[in-house]
Every structure is written in C-alpha cells, then in structure tokens.
Structure 1
Amino acid sequence: MGWLAALAALTVLRLAICAILPLAPDEAYYWVWSRDLQGGYLDHPPMVALFIRAGTFIAGETALGVRLMGPVCLAIGSVQLARATEDLFPGRGAGPWAAALFNATLLAGVGAVAMTPDTPLIAFWAATIWALARLHRTGDGRWWLAVGALAGAALLSKYTAALLGFGIVVWLLLDPMARRWLLRWQLWAGGLLAVAVFAPVVLWNAGHDWASFAKQGGRAGAAEAGRALRYLGELIGGQVGLATPLVFVMAVVGVAAAAHRWWRLRDGATLLLAALTIPPAAIFLWQATGSRVQGNWPAILYPAAAIAAAALLTAPGWLRLRLPAVAVGLVMTGAVYLQAVAAPLPLPRRSDPTLARLGGWEGFLTAVDARMTQQGAAFVAAEEYGLAAKLAFGLPRGRVVIAMDPRWRYFSLATPVPGVTGLLVRSERRGEGPPLWPGAEALPEDEGRLVRSRDGIEAEAYRLHRVTTAPGQPPAVVLPRPGS
C-alpha cells in the first residue's frame, strides 16, 4: 500500500499548488459559469461549472475552491485506474504502475492543478474504464449501468468524450465475448442512461440555435502539405513533452502490444485498451492534417495507454524502464510547479507558459484598481472573456466588472445600466484595430498603459480606454463577484 501513501502525498502537494497559484483567465471564466449554471455553454458542456460549484461550496470562492475537485478526482481516478488494471490483467501487480505512469505525465500533473473541462473529462474517462474492467472481470451486466452513467458524465464534461463511446462500440463489435451484450437489456439501459445524463446539453443547444454543437462541429479538414506536416509535427512533438518522453515511448509501445496481442490471441482485455486509444489517436492525427490539435486534447489516450504499458511491457528492459519513466515525469512536473510558483528561471513569455497565464496578476489588478480610482470610473470592462472574468474574480469587493463579447448573450447575467462611464482594459496583443466597444476613447500614453509582469519580465501589456454604457451596444453583461 506504499503507492497509496505516495499518491496521497502527491495529492496534498497538488492541493497546495492549487491554493498558491492565481487563477488563469480560462479558470476564472469557468468560475463565472459556476455562478450562472446552465445545461450547456457555447464552448463546452457544463460539468466543469458543477465541479467548481462543488469546490467553492467546500473551500470558498478562492483559487483552492475553484480547483479543489481536480486533485481529489485525479487521486480517485488513479485508484480506479489501478483497480481496472488488476481486473483486466489479474495477478500481474501492474495496477500501481499504471497509476504511477499516468500521474507522471505533465498532462496529469498540470491538469490536476488547473480547472478546465479536461479535469472532469479525465476523471470520468478513468472511472468508465474502471467500470468496463469490472464488467469484463465479473460478467455482471449491471455494470453497464455504471458504464452508461459515467460515460454520460464524461460527455457532460467535454464533447471529446464521444470518442469514448466510439471505442466502446468498436470493442463490442470486434470482441466475440463482448458481442453477447448486444442481446442483453443491461447494455441498452446503460446507453439510455448515458443519453439521459447528456440530455441537458441537447436541450440547451435546442434552445440556443444549436450554437455549441455548431461551434465544435467543424474542426478538421485538409490543409496544404507544408502546413499539415507542421501540425503533425507539433502534435507528435507536443505529446512527447506533455506525456514526458519515457512515458510517451512506453505508452505507444504498450498500445501496439495491446493491438498485437488481440490480433494473435483475440484477448478481449487488450482489445478494450486498443479500442480506447487507437481510433482516437487516428482521429487526432487526421485532424492535424487540416488544423492545429491542442496539446491537451489527446490526454484522454493516456489512462488506457498507461494500463497497456504497465501490464503488457513485461520484458526485463521494459520493467527496468518503469521507475526512470516515473521519476523523469515527476521531475519535469515538479520543475513546472516550481517555475509557476517561484519563477527561478527568468524566461520570456514565449518560452514560459506559466508567465503568460499566471504571472503578475496581483500587481496588475492593484494597478487597475488604482487607475479606476484615479479616473473616477464606475466600472471596468474587457472584451476578452478570460480577462474580464479575471478582473471579476480578483478586483477588490465593490468594483463593477462588465464583459463585452457576443458569447455573453448566451448567459443569463444582468446587463449594464446605460449612461455610466468606466474604463475598458484591452490587451495590446489584440492589435491596433478599434475596440469592440462603440465610442471608446483611448487614454493618453502616460495614463493609458499598464503592464503585467513578473520579476520585471513582461507577461502582457494593456491599453486603457474611457467608455460609456449605452442602449444598442454589442452584447455586454455585468459579471458576478466573489461573495456577491
């Protein structure tokens, strides 16, 4: 049980990191979701908002509260991953190693301390694998109800979970032992349960012109050869880094071993792992021929891949590689944690994602608050949804924050009172085009420029504009504030 103690210690460390680091703009945006709960949102299904709502109920509207469910659910998912390994490949003692390999990835380590839709997606994906493994081991059809509920919850987290259902269907069709479930009511009841869990998203889309489905539906296509090669290179190279190099190699070889073993022995356990990894991987590679695949998207491949690596790579060389793979991954993750918290390396923004997303927010928010007082601004506004949400989460109590962007028309938040003057904060990265806010008047250079920086290294620069609320302007809402 030593590995459980190590997992508990790692979880405590992750919770501490969650409490120390400021929220990234996207996390603050999802916190706004938690204050306006709906059956769906333009960007994603609503599970991340429910996770945040649960966390802030326990730990308050703090960075720890927003992120609380991440480390906790990853710890639970790690135990489920270990149990699934033992159910699929009993007697090999590979369960703790599967959990360790998965936790050694940067995708898991960073994902555990950042609350995004991937957080609940990975939690429910791992839980679904556990339920499928229990089904395979026991032959008890009632486990299909758990599979349906958990897979539905994964789909309620992120649309990528459709690949989980696709993998299950592939397993059912190709494995003779699994095909027998097609004639059993438990399978179909589980499917109906998954649909019922996902139904709020369908109902929300039906009431909002299918906006979310349309936004997420067209993310692929063929590109010119040079661009496709670049995107493919970015995808593969990014996965080597995000999975960490040794874990990536073991995962790829482990999945290949699973496919080979199924082909030779028609083993249902190895087919399940192959079905949950190979089709999604093929789809991501195809997507990369036409558009950039974000590095976090393939995170769903690694729970099953970690099982394959731990359970099927049993030659002495692979067994000796387990510990170095875990050690290298944890060291890389620790280095990212250290850079995010203390920034010992003075890296520029382009080389340091922690600076771009997390650096300098406290000083920047203090400067915005002071500039509001200096200008007599009744509110502060932003056109970027993440920046607006960050202002709403971090400014002192009593400040009014307005967000202007077409996406806000899908929320049920209050609209601004007309005829009030405030400040618009706009990142210089948006270019020199006119602000979205009609009639925005740029402040003079000495008053109208703020820089967010960490230890003197610039993370981002912003321009201030004087703006006034008015009827008929583009969609704008008053964002909630912590404690309000």
Structure 2
Amino acid sequence: MAPAVRNPWLLALLALTALRLLGAALLPVSPDEAYYWVWGRALAPSYYDHPPMVALWTATGTALLGDNALGLRLLAPVGVAIGSVLLARAGEDLFPGRRVGEWGAALLNATLLFAAGSVLITPDTPLLVFWCAALWAAARLHRTQDGRWWLAFGVFAGLALLSKYTALLLGGGVVLWLLAEPRVRPWLLRWQLWAGGVLAIALFLPVVWWNSQHEWVSFAKQGGRAGTVGTGSSLRYLGELLGGQIALATPVVFVLCVAGTAMACRAWWRDRLPAAGLLVTLTVPAAALFLWQALGSRVQGNWPAILYPTACLAAAAFLGPRWRGWKLAGMGIGLAVMFAALLQASFAPLPLPRRSDPTLARLGGWPAFAAEVEAARQQRGAIFVATEEYGLAAELALHLPPGTPVVALGDRWDLFDLPPPPQGQAGLLVRSERRGDGPPLWPGATPDGGAVRQRKGIEAERYRLYAVRVAPGDPPLALLPARR
C-alpha cells in the first residue's frame, strides 16, 4: 500500500468526501442551487448576482451526471476535498514538520460553513476552494522562494474573483503582507509578482466586460450591499454577526480561530515570523471590515467564510498541546452537527415545524409540489407555469416534466440570453403567500386556487395560483431551460 494511502488524515478525508457525495445525491435541491443550475444552462461571462464560476461548476457536473442533485453538486465535495489537501500542504510549507496543515484543514472541515459548501453548491464553494489554492501557492512561494509561484497565485486569485467579489480581500491581504513584512517586501521589485497580478486581472476581465454591457448592474448590486446603511441598531447587527459566526463555525472552532489568530498576531509582532504575518493579513483586516460593516448594516452569515482557512491554520500553528482537547472537541462537535443536519434535511426523522427547521423551509417537498402544480396546469388547460420568484421558477424548471415550459417574471431575467414565451399563450402563475396580499406583477392575473408545499404532512409554504396570458406590454419574461 502506498504511503499516502496509509495516511490516517487522508483516509479520513476520503471517507468524509464519500459521505458528502452521498449527501449531495440525497439532499433535495435548494432554490438558490436550482437558480445556479439555470445559470449553468445559460452560460454567460457574469450574472446579476455573482461572477460565473458557480455556473461553470454546475454546468460541468450536470454534463457528466445529468440534471439531478448529484450532477448539480458534483464539484462541491470534490472541490472541497482538493481544497482541504491544498490547505494542508499550505500549512506544511508555512510551518514545516509540525502537522499544522492537517490540523488546520481538519478544523476547517468541522465548520458548518465549509461542511455546507461541501454538499450544497453556492458561489462560496468555489471561492473557498480557490482561496485555499491561492494560499497554498503563497505558502509554496514563501518556502521555496521561487518567484514562479506568483504566477500560480495570480491564476488562483483570478479564479477566486470569478467565483465571488469578496476575493478582492485575498489580493488586498497579500499586498498588505508585502508592504508590512520586510523579508517579503523585495518581491515588489520582481517581475513575477506583477505578472501574477496581470494574470488575475486578465481572468477577471470577462466579468468587467459583461458589466460594462449591462450598466454595471452586478458591481452596483454587490457594492450596494456592502455599503448599505440598515435601519436596525449597531448592537443588533453586530450581535447577529457574532452569533451567526459562532453558530456557523461551531462554538468551539470559533473560539479556537479567535485565540489562534490573536496568537498569530503576537508571533508576528514579537518574533517577526513572515508566515504568521501572512495568516494575520489574510484574516484580521477582512474581519475588521466585516465588523465595521456590522456597525451600520447586516452582514450575511456566509460572507466571513473567507476568514476561516487562515484562522484555522493559525489555531493549529499557535495553540499548543494544552488546546489539543479543544481541537478534538471542535472537530467532533462539527462533524456530529453536520451529520445531524444532513440526516434531517434528507429524511426528516424529526417532525419539526418550519419555524424550527430551516431544512424544511428551503429544501422540503419540492418534487411533490412540482407534481401538484403540473396536475393543476393540466386541469386548467394552461400551456406553461410561471412565477415571479427566481428561486421558485428555477425549482419548477428543474422538477416539472421537460415538456412543461416554465416562464420567469422579473427584471433580472432581462440580463439572460433566454427567449420570451410566445404571445397569446395561457399559463398558470404560482405565487408564494409570503409575498403578501397584493396583486401579482403579471398584469391581468386572475385568482385560480392554491397549492401547498409540504414534507411528510408538515407545511413548508402556501402558494396562490393565477390564470395569466402572454400579451404585449408584459414585464420582462424569460422561458427557462428544461430539464434534460
């Protein structure tokens, strides 16, 4: 048996990846995932919500395995496994011979943020994978002093930017490291560093071009979210941010990450360790930015996910033997919570109501609901099914029979290269009751019954049905791709 195969850490990662692949196959598809599946069927240089990497991942997986849950998510568990190996290698290069990388990658895999991204497919999944890859390239550069690793770093940073705009903090952190750490500052005079930057920008240029053709809509949306001033109190948003991170990282791992980052700051200040400086500049400034944002508006719980690769390495590197029990407890709790969440989302052994079970709200009952909508469409003689909610439209496109057209309503669909439905066709509009009692966006919609999405008899959401017809002057309409 090869030495690599005898490595217990690697064997554990392989077993965990197999479990995640099973979860990816069994877990119902969320509305956002279905929306990214539509992206993969309508590939473009960018989208209203995010850059295109998640669309490329879903398109690749479904091309290999078909339009199903596992095909849609295939690259998530595979990519996370590769990212875990690269993070482990980064830890070894930064702190040779101390098994920092293996411990750091294990802690990262125990967080709910990383565990969810290893089963569900979101833009954060490729972002974290390429973030870990870029960190590995920077660590290789630090250990080997071979400037060609700047080229690899530039490629991975560019791919991270193609995943999510928060990857800008990756480049910013490394630039700060170069400016603040005297022993790496000479790289500023080497051509390889600048060539790596050019590669990153070149990879990102298609997103810039697409935005220039669409009134900079994606930049405006995400930039506006980062700068929005909320109506709640600063303490409320700050409490939401900290409470969310404690939950998503799991409490023990969160404590380890905070303590490890503090010790890394101390090691950089006292011992002038360049490796500690790299971890600090990729963690602390971004964390300070999110804390500052929380003083005026809400920070989404997944945004700080980029902090954890370096924070987990810091915990592994700078928290000594006395913390070993904490590390083992953190990994055990994280994996147990992940398994429990997968079990509830896949099989719902606990009959929890919607308010107590987020898996019911987002994942429960979609195939049966689509069958109910299809029966209602046929009963009414409608040609297509329509909805004004992008996630609901994508779920119906994924679950309805391929011969049933799904029409999406709303301004965002103007940005897709998708055809409108033919004029004069009659359809059935599905609208969630959670959108309120006001009239639908579709002019002339006539109430025509209702439908309920449920899982094992427990209600997830109620919907109103309306009879509609395509006519001149309608809001933007798009005919979504059908399941293959």
Asked if these proteins are the same fold (TM beyond 0.5), I'd say yes
2:343 corresponds to which of 332, 338, 341: 338
Q: Which residue of 2 aligns with 1:267?
A: 273
Matched-pair contact (CA < 8 Å) for 1:222–1:289: no
Whether 1:450 and 2:451 are equivalent positions in the alignment is yes
Whether 1:422 and 2:427 are equivalent positions in the alignment is yes
Q: Which residue of 2 aligns with 1:97?
A: 103
| Residue 222 (structure 1) shift | 4.9
Q: Secondary structure, in 3 states, of the residue corresponding to 1:218?
A: helix
| Residue 434 (structure 1) shift | 1.0
Q: Distance in 1 between matches of 2:230 and 2:464?
A: 36
Q: Distance in 2 between matches of 1:36 and 1:396?
A: 19
Q: Distance in 2 between matches of 1:43 and 1:468?
A: 29
Cα shift readout 1:75-102 (whole Å, capped 9, x = no counterpart)? 0000001100010011112221111100
| Residue 309 (structure 1) shift | 0.6
Matched-pair contact (CA < 8 Å) for 2:28–2:345: no
Whether 1:359 and 2:364 are equivalent positions in the alignment is yes
1:295 corresponds to which of 301, 316, 319: 301
Give the alignment of 1:29-68 within 5 angstroms: 29-68=35-74
Q: Secondary structure, in 3 states, of the residue corresponding to 1:14?
A: helix
Q: Distance in 2 between matches of 1:83 and 1:51?
A: 24
Whether 1:230 and 2:230 are equivalent positions in the alignment is no
Matched-pair contact (CA < 8 Å) for 1:105–1:247: yes
Give the alignment of 1:75-474 within 5 angstroms: 75-219=81-225, 220-223=227-230, 227-314=233-320, 316-443=321-448, 448-474=449-475
Matched-pair contact (CA < 8 Å) for 2:230–2:298: no
Q: Distance in 2 between matches of 1:71 and 1:100?
A: 15
Q: Distance in 1 between matches of 2:268 and 2:294?
A: 28
Question: Unmatched 5+ residue regions in structure 2?
Answer: 1-6
Read off the aligned partner of 1:336 and give its amino acid letter.
Answer: A
Q: Secondary structure, in 3 states, of the residue corresponding to 1:423?
A: strand
Q: Distance in 1 between matches of 2:286 and 2:172?
A: 9
Q: Distance in 2 between matches of 1:351 and 1:231?
A: 22
Higher mean C-alpha deviation, range 359-368 or range 459-468: 359-368
| Residue 425 (structure 1) shift | 0.2
Q: Distance in 2 between matches of 1:221 and 1:389?
A: 28
The CA RMSD over aligned residues, in Å, is: 1.0
| Residue 325 (structure 1) shift | 1.1
Matched-pair contact (CA < 8 Å) for 2:387–2:409: yes
Cα shift readout 1:195-225 (whole Å, capped 9, x = no counterpart)? 000010000001111111111112235556x
Matched-pair contact (CA < 8 Å) for 1:27–1:115: yes
Q: Which residue of 1 aligns with 2:4?
A: none
Q: Distance in 2 between matches of 1:118 and 1:472?
A: 38
Q: Distance in 1 between matches of 2:63 and 2:402?
A: 19
Read off the aligned partner of 1:149 and give its amino acid letter.
Answer: V
Q: Distance in 2 between matches of 1:334 and 1:451?
A: 29
Matched-pair contact (CA < 8 Å) for 2:35–2:394: yes
Matched-pair contact (CA < 8 Å) for 2:261–2:311: yes
Matched-pair contact (CA < 8 Å) for 2:401–2:483: no
Q: Distance in 2 between matches of 1:45 and 1:126?
A: 19
Q: Distance in 1 between matches of 2:368 and 2:407?
A: 20
Cα shift readout 1:237-285 (whole Å, capped 9, x = no counterpart)? 1111110111110001111111111011111100100111111111111
Cα shift readout 1:47-95 (whole Å, capped 9, x = no counterpart)? 0000111111211111111100000000000000110001001111222
Read off the aligned partner of 2:78 and give its amino acid letter.
Answer: V
Matched-pair contact (CA < 8 Å) for 1:128–1:151: yes
| Residue 473 (structure 1) shift | 0.8
Q: Distance in 1 between matches of 2:230 and 2:235?
A: 9
Q: Distance in 2 between matches of 1:384 and 1:426?
A: 8
Q: Distance in 2 between matches of 1:36 and 1:362?
A: 23
Read off the aligned partner of 1:169 and give its amino acid letter.
Answer: V
Whether 1:10 and 2:16 are equivalent positions in the alignment is yes
State percent identity of aligned pairs: 63
| Residue 397 (structure 1) shift | 2.1
Read off the aligned partner of 1:59 and give its amino acid letter.
Answer: L
Matched-pair contact (CA < 8 Å) for 1:221–1:289: no
| Residue 287 (structure 1) shift | 1.2
Matched-pair contact (CA < 8 Å) for 2:369–2:452: yes
Cα shift readout 1:163-217 (whole Å, capped 9, x = no counterpart)? 1111111101001111111000000000000000001000000111111111111
Matched-pair contact (CA < 8 Å) for 1:223–1:289: no
Cα shift readout 1:361-403 (whole Å, capped 9, x = no counterpart)? 1211110011011101100000000100110011012001000
Q: Which residue of 1 aligns with 2:477?
A: 476
Q: Secondary structure, in 3 states, of the residue corresponding to 2:67?
A: coil
Higher mean C-alpha deviation, range 129-138 or range 50-59: 50-59
Q: Distance in 1 between matches of 2:13 and 2:353?
A: 33
Read off the aligned partner of 2:472 and give its amino acid letter.
Answer: P
Q: Distance in 1 between matches of 2:98 and 2:412?
A: 51
2:32 corresponds to which of 6, 11, 26: 26
Read off the aligned partner of 1:346 and give its amino acid letter.
Answer: P
| Residue 320 (structure 1) shift | 2.4
| Residue 317 (structure 1) shift | 1.9
